[in-house]
Amino acid sequence: MGPLVENIKEEGVEVIEIGVLSKVWDTDKYKAVLKVIKAYKPHIIHGAVFEGVLLSTIAGYMGRVPIIIAEETSDPQNRSIKASYLLKILSLIADKFIAIAPNVGNYLKEVARVSPSKIKVITNGVSLPRPVTFHETTKLRNSLGIQVEDFVIGSVGRLFDDHKKFTDIIKAISLLSQRSNIKLLIIGDGKDKEFIKREAESLGLSRNLVMVGFQSDTAPYYKLMNIFCLASQREGFGLVAAEAMFHELPVVATKVGGLQDIVVNNETGILVNANRPEQIATAIDKLFSNQDLIISMGKKGRLRAEKEYSAERYVKEVEEMYKELLRQKQII
């Protein structure tokens, strides 16, 4: 089930696996959730992502759970009209519909037509990064063949290039006149790994590309980066951009989804249009030659992340919402 589930178990929290909801009316999965509801009699059921929203609202309604919460976690640019209408229907059952970013809240209101009174924007939160020693950083740098004088651009995400557009970063590097000591460090795995490698090879940038696959502990990798770049075509929130800011990295990001709210243009990073490698190249070049700007943006980004995107702030807002709904239902 993945490292996150194992981490939850280590905290002493019971995890009951339901499995993947393969279709809207997968009756076995609804029965499985109803079985859990019957056994535990929860006061609150909270579902996230489209499949989780389906399970929580329908099974919660059938199981007579007092409080039902749905959460939209994506930037649904390509969602069908039928799927958006289904969310509208499900919102009639839910007590609250959380949006993980302001743009997601706008989608729920303007496209899915969810009642504004039910929508609550609670932006995602990121845990503070663990300390990383100089020895650990040096060892990792040497193992990856990255030199101290290299300028490292980092990016993190699933390797689905039609979504994350890692190849746009590679194309941007190809446009730079000074690129011999630039490294693109990509953390993540996915179906387009070989496609991304071939793109770098076709542009003569194989030596500039460092791919390390999925890493459960990303902290030491962030410490190798000079700047962070996220070239996504769409993005619900952009959690890794907030993570990068906690590591005092300026963020070059596309003006899509939640990234427009996370990155303050020309203050904590630089925003560019999606699908425009030349704009990414200009932003990288601006930072490449200005270490003072990198430091300044990084420090401002850290302050913004601590204020707006901490895990503590997120937990507090969710807890307050739970308590408010419990009071409204006269459960507490």
Could you read off the pLDDT of 206-234 as tens digits, one per residue?
A: 999 999 999 999 999 999 999 999 999 99
Q: For residue 93, count other CB atoms closer than 10 A to its CB.
A: 15
Please tell me what DSSP assigns to residue 95. S
Please tell me what DSSP assigns to residue 138. H
Phi and psi angles of residue 169, each rounded to the nearest 5 degrees, phi first: -70, -40
How sure is the predictor about 10, in pLDDT bands with cuts at 50, 70 and 90? Answer: confident
Which helix (H) or strand (E) is 153 found in, with range? strand 151-156
Return the higher-pLDDT residue of 179 and 115: 115
Q: Does the structure show a pLDDT above 60 at 12? A: yes
* % of the chain surpassing 70 pLDDT: 99
Cα–Cα dist 163/79, whole Å: 14
The pLDDT assigned to 2 comes to 60
How sure is the predictor about 289, in pLDDT bands with cuts at 50, 70 and 90? Answer: confident
Domains annotated on the chain, with CATH: 3-125+311-328 (3.40.50.2000), 134-308 (3.40.50.2000)
How sure is the predictor about 7, in pLDDT bands with cuts at 50, 70 and 90? Answer: confident
Q: Does the structure show a pLDDT above 80 at 1? A: no
pLDDT digits 0-9 by tens, 133-188: 999 999 999 999 999 999 999 999 999 999 999 999 999 999 998 888 999 999 99
Look at the block and give the residue holding tokens 């746009």.
168
Q: Does the structure show a pLDDT above 80 at 75? A: no
For the record, the structure tokens of 34 come out as: 């109803």
pLDDT digits 0-9 by tens, 254-267: 999 999 999 999 99
For the record, the structure tokens of 186 come out as: 């990509």
* % of the chain surpassing 90 pLDDT: 87
pLDDT digits 0-9 by tens, 22-65: 888 899 999 999 999 999 999 999 999 999 999 999 999 999 99
Do residues 18 and 33 lie in contact, with contact meaning Cβ atoms separated by under 8 Å? yes
The pLDDT assigned to 181 comes to 93
The pLDDT assigned to 77 comes to 72
Please tell me what DSSP assigns to residue 318. H
For the record, the structure tokens of 88 come out as: 């509208």
- For residue 270, the number of C-alpha atoms closer than 13 Å in the C-beta half-sphere is 18
Cα–Cα dist 246/30, whole Å: 39
Surface-to-core class of residue 230, CB atoms within 10 Å of its CB (0-12 exposed, 13-18 middle, 19+ buried): buried
Cα–Cα dist 237/69, whole Å: 19
pTM of the complete model: 0.89
Return the higher-pLDDT residue of 129 and 77: 129
Return the higher-pLDDT residue of 332 and 92: 92
The pLDDT assigned to 178 comes to 85
